[in-house]
Structure 1
Amino acid sequence: MTVRVMLVDDQELLRTGFRMVLASQPDIEIAAEAGDGAQAVEVLRQAEVDVVLMDVRMPRMDGVQATRRICLDQDGLPLPDAPKVLILTTFDLDEYAFAALKAGASGFLLKDVPPPELVAAIRAVHAGDAVVAPTTTRRMIDRFADVLPMARPDAGPPALDPLTEREREVFLLVAQGLSNGEIAEGLTLSEATVKTHVGRILGKLGLRDRVQAVVLAYEAGLLRAGGHG
Structure 2
Amino acid sequence: MPLDPAQRAVVELAPQASGVVVGAPGSGKTTAVVARVRALLAAGLAPEEVLVLTPTRQAATALRDRLAIAVGVATPGPLARSVAAFAYQLVRAHAVHAGLDQPQLLTGPDEDRIVQDLIDGDAEDEAEGARRWPTWLGAEIRSTRGFRTELRAFLAECTTLGITPAALAARGEGSDREVWVSLASFAVDYQAVLARLRGAHRDAAGLVREAVGLARTLRPVSPA
User: What TM-score does the superposition give when structure 1 sets the normalisation length?
Assistant: 0.22
Q: Which has the higher strand share?
A: 1
User: Which structure has the larger Rg?
Assistant: 2
